[in-house]
Amino acid sequence: MRTWVYDPHSGGVKIPPAVKQRTEQRIRSYAEAKYTGKFTRLGIRFHRAFCYIDAYTEPMEPSPSLLQVLAETR
C-alpha cells in the first residue's frame, strides 16, 4: 500500500517575471533598511515556485596568533 507524502518540490506554479522583479526589489529594499552593513551583497534567485535568498559577507581577518600557529603569512 502506498502512502501519501507531501512534497513541496512537486508541482506548484512558476513565478511570473513581473512578480519576480517586484519581489526582488522588495527584498533588496527591506535588506538595505534593516540589515545595512551586515552583508556585502545579496543573491536572489527563483526556481519554480520558490525564492532563494543568500546574503554574502566577507570573512574576518585572522588574528596574528592564528597565523603563527598555522605558519601562514596571510
Q: What Rg do the C-alpha atoms of the chain give, in angstroms? A: 20
At residue 44, the pLDDT reads 98
Q: What is the pLDDT along the chain (74 residues), one digit of tens a residue?
A: 788 888 777 777 788 999 999 999 999 999 999 999 999 999 999 988 889 999 999 988 888 888 888 887 76
pTM for this entry: 0.70
Q: How far apart are CA 40 and CA 58, in angstroms?
A: 7
Residue closest to 34 by CA, chosen among 44, 42, 46: 42
